[in-house]
Amino acid sequence: MKTLMKLIVSAVFFMQVITAQGTEKQKDYPVTPIPFTKVHINDAFWFLRMEINRKVTIPFAFKKCEETGRIDNFSKAAGIMEGKYEGIRYNDSDVFKVIEGASYSLSLHPDPKLEKYLDDLIAIIASAQEDDGYLYTARTIDPENPAPGAGDTRWSKLRGSHELYNVGHMYEAAVAYYLATGKDTFLDVAIKNADLLVKIFGPGKKHDIPGHQEIEIGLAKLYRVTGNEKYLNLAWFFLNERGKAHDGELYPESSRFALYNRTRHIQDHKPVLEQKEAVGHAVRAAYMYAGMADVAALTGNADYVKAIDRIWENVVSKKLYLTGGIGSRHEGEAFGDNYELPNLTAYSETCAAIGNVMWNHRLFLLHGDAKYLDVLERVLYNGLISGVSLSGDLFFYPNPLRSDGKFKFNQGALTRKPWFDCACCPGNLARFLPSIPGYVYAYKDNILYVNLFVSSHAKVKMANNTVTIKQETGYPWEGAIKITVNPERSEKFAIYVRVPGWAQNQPVPSDLYKYMKKSEEKASLKVNGNSVNLNMDKGFARIRRKWKKGDIIELNLPMSIRRVLCHEKVEDNRGKVAFERGPIVYCAEEIDNGENVHNLAVSDNVVLRSEYRKDLLGGVTVIHGKVLSFYRSKAGKAAFKKEQKFVAIPYYAWGHRGEGQMAVWLERSRD
């Protein structure tokens, strides 16, 4: 397709979406997010992280892709370099993810040097593509001897080959690059590949599934940009094919493989509409649920919505860490049973956290309910950004809630590492961080949603008006949020300001966690200096009035320290307490508390204080107070109590000051 044609097609498609002309309107999410390119963040917390991602993580990840042969694999497949395939069969995907991140970064910060680097890299990728559109360097380099696990022939081992997973990331990257630069070089590669898949797979053609979901999200994005329904239909087809035992490999639940059951592992144990519990590999699952949400929104399929709603209930009430992490088992990187949430051996992969944000955001866009944003915010500020160091060049793959200073959870390490053989997480962070501004605002008809509290400004084109909105706040350390509203025309519409669950005595939208004491401090709201009642609607304070230029909303969230208790069924957390302040989950580290972190008991009655420490870990609010340090006898009885100082830091910042003990959940003393 020629560039001009494509631009016309996508322009028409976007106009249909934006102008919402009756029946002409393409089906989509009822709530529309304000894209990250239209939201300008100037906030101390996120701006810094995004700048480090742009200046350190993205170049660092490209360098690692070069050093580890990931980029050479494309050169070899293109025939411009000699040699064998290097690395694991899905390494192409890492390069695609970093290109996606770099493209997002280009959208926000034009950078000719980076654009030239991407152009050259995309030219190599295009040359590595086979004539009919196939792209999988693990096979193309030497089709007679493909990389281990790739399968002898094309599509012969889809459950493990990641052929379709890789190209799913390629579609996402190609769309990102196209939207950032207007250049169609990479999009052409994606379209040629997707056209091949449309020829191979579908009703009356090959019936099978991708062993690792991701292509569904990529195909939905390709559909949005091209307006070509065949890509959406293929995403739908792949989802509907799950649970049909194409190769007859259904293990019975009771078999010795029950713990790490391949069919459950890839969510292929039941048709997706019959799945009620989150099982198997957590990243696969989260990508699948996000893909199902996309297909539901773009086709209007209500059954898909019901299915993912049911699975969400299961995760939020039984399988979610306090940090927002999901997937508790190292074995199979998988969801555990209900309430199986161990702390020391928590897997809670960084990629699964990113998938959890993607999924919850889509559910918000479907339902307009802030409970999904409560989960999203919990993941974002805790178990997701813990995945990358403050310096931007060290990464956690798992994100446990406890460390004994011995159990090497991070692929042989006790702290963050620069890279991994299976390097899914660093590239995923590189692409996720620039997209954060896209989660802050949204609109639906004449409702403007303020979802997250981040100093920023954005221009929002609503159904009948254009509104410039500006936020000023010291969140997450301070609870005061000032929002200035500037509509082009003075008129009546609604602004929905999220009041987080944690500010309403509900840490998560379930009974999995609760605050030890209900706080009497309430969130409060003012408009132009006058207090207004909180008219709550699905977790948002609804302010419907005739807005005029310069109107000011002030939201005040109570930022007291909260003690959190866990559902009794979670064995590891019985008799324990955790600490939160605002959206931040805290932990105690050895460096601040000595080697006895796991034998510290916090009395219900002790006064804890918070203090902002500019000099510490890039500037954080710490919690401090007095606790009892004790020793356990062999019989498990606590003895020899002595008082000592206690300091807790935000969980996301742990592991920056050497190896050692850490705990989110501490012993609770009722003394």
3-state secondary structure at position 319 = coil
In whole angstroms, the minimum distance from the beta carbon of 424 to Zn ion comes to 3
Let me know: does 312 contact 319? Beta carbons within 8 Å. no
* Nearer residue to Zn ion within complex by CB, 420 or 439: 420
Distance CA 303, CA 295 (A): 11
CA torsion sign for 276, 397, 74, 2 is: positive
Through-space distance between the first and last CA atoms of the chain, rounded to whole angstroms:
73
Contact 48, 479 (CB under 8 A): no
Question: Going by C-beta distance under 8 Å and a sequence separation of 6 or more, which residues neighbour residue 590?
Answer: 405, 597, 660, 661, 662
In angstroms, give the least distance from the CB of 350 to Zn ion.
5
Report the candidate in 617, 628, 629, 622 with the shortest Cα–Cα distance to residue 671.
628
Residue nearer to Zn ion on the CB measure, 375 or 430: 430
Strand-pairing partners, residue 562, are 580
d(C-alpha 565, C-alpha 428), whole Å: 32
Least distance to Zn ion, CB of residue 214, Å: 12
Distances (CA, A) of 388 to 381, 400, 616, 661: 12, 14, 17, 19
Distance CA 553, CA 524 (A): 11
Minimum distance from residue 97 beta carbon to Zn ion (Å): 10
Tokens of 96: 């695609």
Nearer to Zn ion, 129 or 345 (CB): 345
Whose CB is nearest to Zn ion? 351
Of 97 and 361, CB closest to Zn ion: 97
Query: Of the two residues 421 and 671, which places its CB atom closer to Zn ion in the complex?
Result: 421
For strand 530-532 and strand 524-527, is the pairing parallel, antiparallel, or unpaired?
antiparallel
Check if the beta carbon of residue 154 is closer than 8 Å to that of residue 163. yes
The nearer residue to Zn ion, 145 or 411, going by C-beta atoms, is: 411
Cβ at position 326, least distance to Zn ion in Å:
12
Cross-strand bridge partners of residue 468: 459, 486
Nearer to Zn ion, 411 or 644 (CB): 411
By beta-carbon proximity to Zn ion, the closer residue of 91 and 599 is: 91
Give the nearest distance from C-beta 169 to Zn ion in angstroms: 12
Between 351 and 666, name the residue whose CB sits nearer to Zn ion: 351
Q: Residue 324's CB: how many other CB atoms inside 10 A?
A: 28
* Closest separation in Å from C-beta 410 to Zn ion: 12
**Contacts with 656 (C-beta within 8 Å, 6 or more apart), sequence order:** 389, 390, 617
Rounded to a whole number of angstroms, the minimum distance from the CB of residue 397 to Zn ion is: 6
* Interaction site with Zn ion (CB under 5 A): 349, 351, 424-425
CB 71 to Zn ion: min, Å: 20
Phi and psi angles of residue 418, each rounded to the nearest 5 degrees, phi first: -70, -25
